[in-house]
Structure 1
Amino acid sequence: MRSVIDQSEVRGVEEHPPRERPSTRKRWLFLLKAAISAALIYWVLRNAQLSEVAHAVRNVNGWLLLVSVCLYAATYYVRAVRWRILLRPHGVDPPLRFLLNSYFASIFFSNFLPSTIGGDALRGYDAWRAGASKAASVAVLLMDRVLGMVVLIAFALALLLVSPNLVGEVPHVRLWIGLLTLGMMGFLYLSFETRLRLPGWTTRAPARVPRKLRAAVDTAAGAFRAFHGRRDVLLHALVLSVVFQAATVVHYYLIAAALNLPIPLLAFFVIVPLAIIIMMLPVSINAIGLREGAFVFFFASYGVSTERAVAFAWLVYGTVLLLGLVGGVVYALRGETPTANS
């Protein structure tokens, strides 16, 4: 029963009271990221005319922008279905509505409460509420992320030949994307291939290896073993990843089309994965500064001005913030218990 608290955890809390240092360190880290975001924004906008950015936003095609927002919102339904599929090997099958609400609420937590709790932490907590162990919740979140990135990077690897301008701007781009693809595919193979097992090193590890570390690795390995042999799960999840990642790329393209940017659709299958990899770097607040810099850099290959590239980046982020506000309402109103399947 989820309400029963493990006694060892209670003893751990009693024996090791909370310290102020981690909280102070977190505040300093937040301030550092804020400073980096501000510096990056200044660097991007130092020679730009904000009036031109505002002009581009004011003249955006509202209908195309609306379609792009609706399309991006619809991808969260596909993501929720994939999340449910990945939870099932762990014996958990929560209602789809519960997972969808959790996804939308996670957008709010990621973008409006970045210094307290992230969206992934909320999703992990909700998976635990639905009956998954803590290790399984983390394993599923990691698998969810890897599957999405595998598909995005595979898009880029397959379409690099159609974007010679971009290839010329990024040194060794084919090599880096190829290595990332191989690494993630290797992770998926190790996770789902039944003939390969994580070695039982926890029983043979030297005594100097901390017992808690060995136990943590063993718990994590056990969580990933639930995927072994489930090629049906892998195939289904990959198909859904292709669907929602393709829709995500089209979402970016529609925003560019709404701004009348001269960039072909296929080029976005290269630009978007590279931009997302850059935005995932944990050095700024919600990728502020990284997002603008990435699109200014990549769009320059197609003759797009800094001002219009920044307008694009801000409309992309505005879409996320809008869905985050929806997620905040969803979180405030939610109250269902994930018990019945649907």
Structure 2
Amino acid sequence: MASRVDTLKRVGILLLQLLVTAAGLWYVFHDPQRRAQIAVALKQADGIWLILGWLCYSVVEILATVRWQLLLRIQGIRLSWLRAGAIVMIGLFFNQFLPGGVGGDAMRLYFVFKLAPGRKIGATPSVAMDRVLGLLTLLFLAGMSLSLRFNALTRSSSSLHIVYLALALLGASFVFVVLLFWLASAGLLSELPKVTPFRKVIIESGEALRRYRTHLVTMAFAFLITVAAHLAYYTSYYCAGESLHASAGHAASLADILSIMPLVDTIVSVPISLGGVGVRETLFQELLGNLSHVPPALAAFTGSLGFMNQAAWGLVGAAIFLASQKIINR
């Protein structure tokens, strides 16, 4: 009975994600005039900027591999750089194309268990700490964005509502982080009631903090790596916008992209659509259009084009997964 309920729940989540994705894409691209504008922009797109965007996102995955290697080695798990990079790419694919956004974590654990069966205990904290670092970095960058560009970001009522939504999600995330640090330092993780929402995630994340708290210098370095990875990721969207500059007549500045991306990431991290598709385009249309005066169709398509860099690497992860048995045996 429980398995049937779980199956129905997963199907329900998938249907909701498909509905939100379709609704978002229809909202921003249903106008034939906008689609024609995008077609013209694609014909005039600057290939050099597209390549630069792809290279920027490549840096993201390289830095993600370096960070995870640091976390693994603190736990005494040693993987070759090739294997670690391959597993990170496989995780990217499953995070993008599976409902929920956590399938990649499960796949990373699966491969570590296969490659280092004697170190299973340290694998879960490494993945959990990877997530915690991402959350801390997002809070930091979003806080910087809002403190420096709040007035510019809230010029219109639509963008103001988006900022308030992001603030609510960031506030909840901040409370989660504070609670996590308190539970871990007080040794209260095991005493959480079984009915506590997200109990497993809280315990795993708290255990990760406990295991890594004696490695402050390494963790500070890992945090800086995560900040650099986020900035490279955001810059890939700037390159996407610049590639459409000839058609748009006016592209967003790098400062504008760096201002909106933490807010976009905050909202897109809620898994209500497949890979954030549909939601991301809607947010770009409103935020980039109001902040940088980019035409709505091209503002939305900038979000799509930027995501394509990530999706392309996700497909590389899919190819690696198909050859994963060779990776395990190498």
Q: TM-score, normalised by structure 1?
A: 0.78
Percent sequence identity over matched residues?
A: 22
Question: Which residue does the alignment assign to 1:142?
Answer: 128
Residues 182-225 of structure 1, C-alpha deviations (whole Å, 9 max, x = no match): 54764785599xxx3423764xx89xx69xx9999877755542
- In the TM superposition, 1:12-91 aligns within 5 A as 19-47=3-31, 49-91=34-76
Whether contact under 8 Å (1:37, 1:285) holds in the other structure is yes
Q: Which amino acid aligns with 2:50?
A: L
Alignment of 1:1-342 (within 5 A): 19-47=3-31, 49-114=34-99, 118-131=103-116, 136-160=122-146, 161-162=148-149, 164-168=151-155, 169-170=159-160, 179=171, 182-183=174-175, 186=178, 196-199=185-188, 202=191, 222-260=207-245, 261-301=250-290, 302-334=292-324, 335-337=326-328
Counterpart of 2:327 in 1: which secondary structure? coil
Normalized per residue, the structure richer in helix is: 2
Shift of 1:293: 0.7
Q: Which runs of 5+ in 1 are unaligned?
A: 1-16
* Deviation digits for residues 130-171 of structure 1 (CA, Å, limit 9, x no counterpart): 437666444332321232232243233224424632143325
Larger radius of gyration: 1
**Which amino acid is the alignment partner of residue 310 of structure 1?**
A
Following superposition, the deviation at residue 26 of structure 1 comes to 1.9
TM-score normalised per structure 2: 0.80
Work out whether residues 76 and 122 of structure 2, in 8 Å CA contact, stay in contact via their aligned partners in 1. no
Distance (whole Å) between structure 2 residues aligned to residue 116 and residue 62 of structure 1: 31
For 2:143 and 2:189, how far apart are their aligned partners in 1?
A: 36
Name the CA shift for 1:233/1:24 in 2 (closer, same or farther; >3 Å). Answer: same
| Number of corresponding residues | 314
**SS in structure 2 of the partner of residue 286 of structure 1:** helix
Letter in 1 for 2:134: G
Match of 2:274, SS state, is coil
